[in-house]
């Protein structure tokens, strides 16, 4: 037992006072009895014995009364078993990602967690609250009550290591209690390493009752005909008992297609045909799982011709005119000697077709063209200087041409996962007629190749930036050196290279993705583009690049939907945003990775545990009770004992 104020124990010396008083009352006097009262002697002896017993009992009661009062003021206590962490600062991490929409026994997981926080958090407890997007330092439950009640789901997935980094960066010298409320989806073992060993962490993992969920993953154009777009809608199903779902497509909130799909496999792709015109709408499904991933918003811009120019001999460029037709492209060819450099910045794609030499002025112009969002295709010439080629390519990335090899090779492998072939092939093919080259450069490249030779060396590769791509062949493809122009591959390859990052396909951005978006717009020096719809309005980060504007959205907008881009009041283009689908799989959590950490069933149990383990067992109340009992005993002795 310990005392909070041990100095008060010195008052125990005052116990000598009642002892002295009682001893003084016990002084003996010599008594002489007269004859006429001597007969009372025996009665007096009996009374004296009773009086002495009463005084001894009173002495004990009063002494114990003084002792218990003095001990009560000294505040005795038994030290808490976790007393060393009693001064810890508290941090509460609340996962408000979309997976917390799942329903448990008492409703949606997030709403139930908020309600329990409001009900069970002691009013005098100071803490800091961190959600996926917001941070509230040094607050209490009264101050943050309205914020919690209005907390919305976040489009940013739950990333525990980032939130722990914020806590660790917060200036404090105290140890920490970290309470993490999450369903566990997205937590990986490496994220847990961010928890300092000296701090105390508690995981509260609410469980969802419904594990089945269906999500719309993506939409892309599978084929374009004269009057229609054939689009593919990809669905993902999670869980063991997935029921058929209704799938509908809306353009400007007008229903244009609808079907019911049985999900026999975890991934299923549905095909729809929609009119070949500007589209600004969404795909919608109806299921009993999460609701945030039931709508997929996308836009298709009005078909705009892609400006393309090839620089090289006209005879070697005839095959490009057959690929870049007038219905989708504005194509032209120019000999190097006749090239107007001012026309380059107006193009979307430039093809260097077997130029023997690349002048320095052209290299500088093409570097600026690529930085502003233009696509570049480089077909080397057998007469190219390797040193000149490497000096030019160094402007775009890490790729080096080595030697020129006169060995015939077959082009036998397609990298179907390469962005150039996204949506090109329905199935992986392997039995096509392999084109070949008679001579080629040896290429050293760290990026994955799009087309490879049978010896796994590179035939076609791409250096991609956030706004453009530079596609590089390792061999001339003229008819004397290669039969690639007769291969079925040539059309989709050159078509995709020209259309990369152009806004002629499906526009469906992911909130939180840092990839920029290029839009055609001529702005004044002080001009800005705005993005808005009926519910939200914001100005993204933007950079003017001649007749184009590069926009970066970061974590905007806050809600998924169809938006429009405006230059002041003039409409520029449609754009759509969707939530990240990382939270769709409700079976993704692994509770085993938390086996080495403190877990609790509820917030209430955490606070009870902290209170039990960290609060000293105060005994002064018991001593006050004993003092009152001794006082009552004293009063009873005085009144009833004769």
Nearest to 442, CA basis, from 464, 469, 474, 416: 474
**Model's pTM, two decimal places?**
0.69
- pLDDT for residue 309 is more than 90: yes
Euclidean distance between CA atoms 602 and 205, whole angstroms: 8
Summarize pLDDT for 541-577 with one digit per residue, the tens: 988 877 788 889 988 899 999 999 999 889 999 999 9
For residue 143, give Cα distances in angstroms to 111, 285, 311, 519, 607: 19, 40, 67, 44, 19
Helix segments in 186-270, DSSP class H: 189-192
pLDDT at 5: 67
Residues 6 or more apart whose CB falls under 8 angstroms from that of 328 comprise 303, 305, 306, 504
DSSP state of 525: T
Is residue 283 within 8 A of residue 300, CB to CB? The reply is: no
Higher pLDDT, 340 or 3: 340
User: Percent of the chain, pLDDT > 70?
Assistant: 88
pLDDT at 538: 93
- pLDDT for residue 178 is more than 90: no
- pLDDT for residue 391 is more than 80: yes
Euclidean distance between CA atoms 577 and 563, whole angstroms: 8
DSSP state of 98: G
First-to-last C-alpha distance (Å) of the chain = 40
Burial class (CB in 10 A: 0-12, 13-18, 19+), 82: middle
Strands (E), 321-420: 329-334, 349-353, 375-379, 399-405, 409-414
pLDDT band at 384 (very low <50, low <70, confident <90, very high): confident
pLDDT at 49: 58
Is residue 267 within 8 A of residue 227, CB to CB? The reply is: no
Please report which helix (H) or strand (E) contains residue 367, including its range.
Answer: helix 360-371
Summarize pLDDT for 86-112 with one digit per residue, the tens: 667 889 999 999 989 888 888 889 999
What torsion do the CA atoms of 429, 440, 449, 334 make, to the nearest 10 degrees? -100
Is residue 368 within 8 A of residue 362, CB to CB? The reply is: no
Please report which helix (H) or strand (E) contains residue 284, including its range.
Answer: strand 279-286
Burial class (CB in 10 A: 0-12, 13-18, 19+), 621: exposed
Helix segments in 174-317, DSSP class H: 189-192
Is residue 220 within 8 A of residue 506, CB to CB? The reply is: yes
pLDDT at 471: 92
Q: Give the mean pLDDT of the chain.
A: 83
The arithmetic mean of pLDDT across residues 61-81, rounded, is 74
425 φ/ψ angles, rounded to the nearest 5 degrees: -115, 130
């Amino acid at each position: 037992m310990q005392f909070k104020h041990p100095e008060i124990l010195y008052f125990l010396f005052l116990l000598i006072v009642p002892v002295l008083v009682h001893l003084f009352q016990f002084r003996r006097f010599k008594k002489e009895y007269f004859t006429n009262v001597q007969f009372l002697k025996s009665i007096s002896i009996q009374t004296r014995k009773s009086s002495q017993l009463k005084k001894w009992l009173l002495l004990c009661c009063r002494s114990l009364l003084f002792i218990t009062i003095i001990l009560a003021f000294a505040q005795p206590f038994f030290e808490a078993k976790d007393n060393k962490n009693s001064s810890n600062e508290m941090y509460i991490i609340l996962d408000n990602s979309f997976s917390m929409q799942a329903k448990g026994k008492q409703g949606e997981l997030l709403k139930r967690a908020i309600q329990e926080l409001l009900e069970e958090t002691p009013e005098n407890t100071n803490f800091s609250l961190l959600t996926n997007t917001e941070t509230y330092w040094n607050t209490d439950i009264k101050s943050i009550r309205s914020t919690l009640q209005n907390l919305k789901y976040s489009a940013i997935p739950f990333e525990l290591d980032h939130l722990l980094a914020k806590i660790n960066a917060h200036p404090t010298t105290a140890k920490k209690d970290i309470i993490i409320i999450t369903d566990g989806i997205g937590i990986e073992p490496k994220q847990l390493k961010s928890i300092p060993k000296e701090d105390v962490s508690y995981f509260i993992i609410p469980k969802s009752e419904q594990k089945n969920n269906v999500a719309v993953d993506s939409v892309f154009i599978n084929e374009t005909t004269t009057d229609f777009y054939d689009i593919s809608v990809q669905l993902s199903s999670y869980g063991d008992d997935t029921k058929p779902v209704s799938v509908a497509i809306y353009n400007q909130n007008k229903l244009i297609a609808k079907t019911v799909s049985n999900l026999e496999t975890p991934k299923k792709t549905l095909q729809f045909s929609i009119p070949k015109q500007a589209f600004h709408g969404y795909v919608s499904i109806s299921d009993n799982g999460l609701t945030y991933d039931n709508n997929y918003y996308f836009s298709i811009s009005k078909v705009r011709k892609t400006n393309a120019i090839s620089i090289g001999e006209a005879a070697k460029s005839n095959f490009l005119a057959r690929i870049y037709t007038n219905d989708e492209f504005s194509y032209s060819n120019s000999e190097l000697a006749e090239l107007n450099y001012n026309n380059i910045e107006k193009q979307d794609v430039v093809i260097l077709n077997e130029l023997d030499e690349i002048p320095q002025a052209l290299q500088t112009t093409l570097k600026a063209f690529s930085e502003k969002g233009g696509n570049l295709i480089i077909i080397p010439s057998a007469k190219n200087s390797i040193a000149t080629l490497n000096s030019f390519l160094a402007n775009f990335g890490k790729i080096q041409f080595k030697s020129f090899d006169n060995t015939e090779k077959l082009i036998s492998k397609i990298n179907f996962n390469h962005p150039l072939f996204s949506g090109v092939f329905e199935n992986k093919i392997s039995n096509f007629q392999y084109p070949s080259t008679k001579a080629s450069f040896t290429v050293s490249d760290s990026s994955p190749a799009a087309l490879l030779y049978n010896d796994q060396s590179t035939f076609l590769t791409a250096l991609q930036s956030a706004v453009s791509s530079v596609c590089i062949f390792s061999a001339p493809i003229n008819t004397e050196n290669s039969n690639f122009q007769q291969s079925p591959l040539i059309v989709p390859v050159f078509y995709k290279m020209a259309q990369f990052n152009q806004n002629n396909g499906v526009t469906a951005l992911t909130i939180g993705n840092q990839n920029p978006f290029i839009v055609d717009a001529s702005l004044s020096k002080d001009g800005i583009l705005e993005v808005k719809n009926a519910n939200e309005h914001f100005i993204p980060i933007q950079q003017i690049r001649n007749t184009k504007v590069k926009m970066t959205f970061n974590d905007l907008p806050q809600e998924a939907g169809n938006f429009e881009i405006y230059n002041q009041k003039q409409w520029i283009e449609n754009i759509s945003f969707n939530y990240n689908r990382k939270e769709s799989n409700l079976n993704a959590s692994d509770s085993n990775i938390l086996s080495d950490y403190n877990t609790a069933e509820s917030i209430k149990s955490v606070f009870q545990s902290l209170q039990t383990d960290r609060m000293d067992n105060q005994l002064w109340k018991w001593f006050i009770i004993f003092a009152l009992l001794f006082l009552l005993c004293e009063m009873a002795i005085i009144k009833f004992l004769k």
